[in-house]
Amino acid sequence: MEFFKNAPRPDPNSVLRYISELSQFHRIQGSEELVRAAEFVAEEVSDFGVDVKILKDRYDGRRWHLTLKSPIAWNPIWGELVFDNRRLTTNESPLLVMAHSPGGEMKGKLLPVLRDDDWKRAEGKVVLVGEDWRNAYRRANLAGASGFIAYRKGTGEFYPYIGLFLTKDDLKWARIPAFTVPEAIAEELMRRAFSGGVAIRGTVQANVKGREVLPMVYAKTGEPPYLLFTAHICHPKPGANDNASGSALLMELARILEKAKKERFGYAFLWIPEYHGSQAFAERVQLEEYYAGVNLDMVGGSVDRSGSTLMLIRTPFSRFSLISGLLETAIEHINVRGESFSGSPLPLMPFKAYPYEMGSDHDVFNILGIPAAMPITWPDRYYHSSGDTLDRISGETLLLIGRAVLSLAVFLSEGNSSVIERMARGYMKRILGEVEIRNRLRESEGLLKRGLARDMTFLGISSEVDELSIEPWLEWKKRGVLSEGFIKARNRELAREFSRLTREKAVLTHLHELLMLGEILPEERAYAALREEYGKIEEEKLERLVGILEDANVVSAH
């Protein structure tokens, strides 16, 4: 695979510099610093000679970005937490103040909430909670607590990132200030609370504005159709791996691909606030102009620094595309460091490709019909915490993922048609082989052929791959990422049931893929395809969830 070895090489030092710059911004959705971070990206990318602009939507706590309601426009000013002789302030970390917390003061005796009965004693207390934070915050307000403190297990000495994502309607009941503390401090507070009690006080100063810009930095080079590269630019300071790393690598890709040949398509680059930005973007563009997408999220982790492995999230079968196979192949050939005792190459990072999973902006584009894959380093022991700093970023990993993505882009643009088609067929056989190990093939081959036929059409390559005939079971009337909040706006009872049934993340992934399959196949065949793709599914839950969506007028059966 000389082609992958000879692909353009990103400069990891440039990427690290961009990460350093972006890490200085407290990039909370709805905040001024998120806008400043976007302006920094746009200015830098403009210097590469790329056509770039900032598209603008709004955060106002009311606006719907497809299926997601905007959080409030919110800027933290100051926060402090005092107990005994300890004083924690936002000078140490802005994460002390929970994102979107109302301003105000709190004072009272600390109450760790460990059991449901503890809420009966919450009035006038400062409650301490270690899970289900958003629901617990609402409950604390309704119970008459004077303040709210959250922690997350596994963060150790670091402050966790927990966002409330309050809307204007939420401000009718959300009154008390909210803080986060490191797990180590939470454990200390609980020990004190159980051995005589501890008094605690705190202050949050925050500015809740009428609206703030939701920035979408959009750059393109060449003509449509476009291969679209995305990265979410939001998240708190420092947020080096999540997701200054993806945003910074995307800047480097824009610099390199501006100079590359554009034989079959152009390139588009999109920096957005996670989910809200990608859904707002989709409302204002012609989606048929985009061939496929690669989402860059958390691309700077490593085994030694953050306990990460390298994952590739493939496109779902409903949106099957060669891009997954080329990324997989490129990573396998580039992910090399050293040799085994017999001379076989050893991997730089443990690597595995996975069936489609939800969790970042690739979801939105798949839902809207644009196949999108995602390389990601996961897990990360510093995930969503103040420990996600520049010194824990791996330049080697950035180079590996950057080279793989550039290999994909250049090969699809400039590669020989017969070689591309041969690799497409080889990748299809590889996936079908994986499926056949766990299930009898019924639907997968047709879906995969359908995806490859779409690939060849966009690439302008004549092919004998047949299109799958469409026999839709469902119409997805309101497209976008589905959540309890979206269902709640239509029916509160249905929303509670939806939340209960989707507590397992796999169920939510399977539901979205089932809906995408349902736009192509009859009901029985859609469930059969889902079983082939994932092996095990909770069919009864999924049937009820589809019923909830029908009752909420989100989908309708043909």
- At 259-305, the pLDDT tens digits run 999 999 999 999 999 999 999 999 999 999 999 999 999 999 999 99
pLDDT over 70 at 3, yes or no: no
Burial of 209 (0-12, 13-18, 19+ CB in 10 A): middle
Rounded-to-integer distance, Cα 78 and Cα 96, Å:
9
Please spell the DSSP secondary structure of 523-555, one letter per residue.
HHHHHHHHHHHHS---HHHHHHHHHHHHHTTSE
* pLDDT band of 85, cuts 50, 70, 90: confident
Q: For position 52, what pLDDT does the model report? A: 98
Q: How far is CA 532 from the centre of its chain?
A: 25
The backbone region for 124, taken as left when phi is positive above 0, alpha when psi lies in -120 to 50, beta otherwise, is left
The residues spanned by each domain of the chain are 2-58+213-413, 73-209, 416-468, 471-558
Q: What share of the chain is helix, strand, coil (3-state, %, to 5)?
A: 40, 20, 35
Using one digit for the tens of pLDDT, what is the confidence trace for 37-61? 999 999 999 999 999 999 999 999 9
Phi, psi for residue 158 in degrees, rounded to 5:
-100, 150
pLDDT over 70 at 536, yes or no: yes
Q: What is the mean pLDDT of residues 77-99?
A: 97
Dihedral, 136, 142, 144, 145 alpha carbons, nearest 10:
10
Strands across the sheet with 51-59, in order? 51-59, 212-221, 266-272, 226-232, 290-295, 372-378, 309-313, 351-354
Rounded-to-integer distance, Cα 225 and Cα 222, Å:
9
Q: For position 131, what pLDDT does the model report? A: 94
Q: For position 325, what pLDDT does the model report? A: 97
Q: The pTM is what?
A: 0.97
| SS3 of 313-327 | ECCCHHHCCHHHHHH
Rounded-to-integer distance, Cα 304 and Cα 302, Å:
6
Longest dimension (CA), the chain: 77
Using one digit for the tens of pLDDT, what is the confidence trace for 398-449? 999 999 999 999 999 999 999 999 999 999 999 999 998 888 889 999 999 9
Which has the closest alpha carbon to 231: 268, 185, 271?
271
Phi, psi for residue 310 in degrees, rounded to 5:
-105, 120
Burial of 499 (0-12, 13-18, 19+ CB in 10 A): middle
* pLDDT band of 339, cuts 50, 70, 90: low
Handedness of CA 504, 508, 511, 513 (dihedral sign): negative
- Peptide bond connecting 225 to the previous residue in cis, omega within 30 degrees of 0: yes
Helices vs. strands in the chain: H and E counts, helices first: 18, 19
Decide which of 344 and 10 is more confident: 10
- Residue spans of beta strands (DSSP E) within 96-193: 104-112, 126-129, 147-150, 178-180
Decide if 199 contacts 169 (C-beta within 8 A).
no
Q: Which fold has domain 73-209?
A: Glucose Oxidase; domain 1 (3.50.30)
pLDDT over 90 at 464, yes or no: no
Q: For position 467, what pLDDT does the model report? A: 67
Q: How far is CA 23 from the centre of its chain?
A: 18
Side chain identity at residue 317, one-letter code: F
Using one digit for the tens of pLDDT, what is the confidence trace for 175-223? 999 999 999 999 999 999 999 899 999 999 999 999 999 999 999 999 9
SS3 label, residue 80: strand
Q: For position 524, what pLDDT does the model report? A: 97
* Spatial CB neighbours of 87, under 8 Å, sequence gap ≥ 6: 80, 81
* Look-up of token digits 């353009």: 8
Q: How far is CA 214 from the centre of its chain?
A: 17
Which residues lie across from 475 on neighbouring strands?
556
Class of domain 2-58+213-413: alpha beta
Using one digit for the tens of pLDDT, what is the confidence trace for 306-318? 999 999 999 999 9
How many C-alpha atoms does 287 have within 13 Å on its Cβ side? 15
Cβ count near 96 (within 10 Å) = 25
Decide which of 343 and 62 is more confident: 62
Side chain identity at residue 494, one-letter code: L
SS3 label, residue 59: strand
pLDDT over 90 at 22, yes or no: yes
Rounded-to-integer distance, Cα 344 and Cα 351, Å:
16
> What does DSSP assign to residue 99?
B
Phi, psi for residue 462 in degrees, rounded to 5:
-70, 140
The backbone region for 317, taken as left when phi is positive above 0, alpha when psi lies in -120 to 50, beta otherwise, is alpha
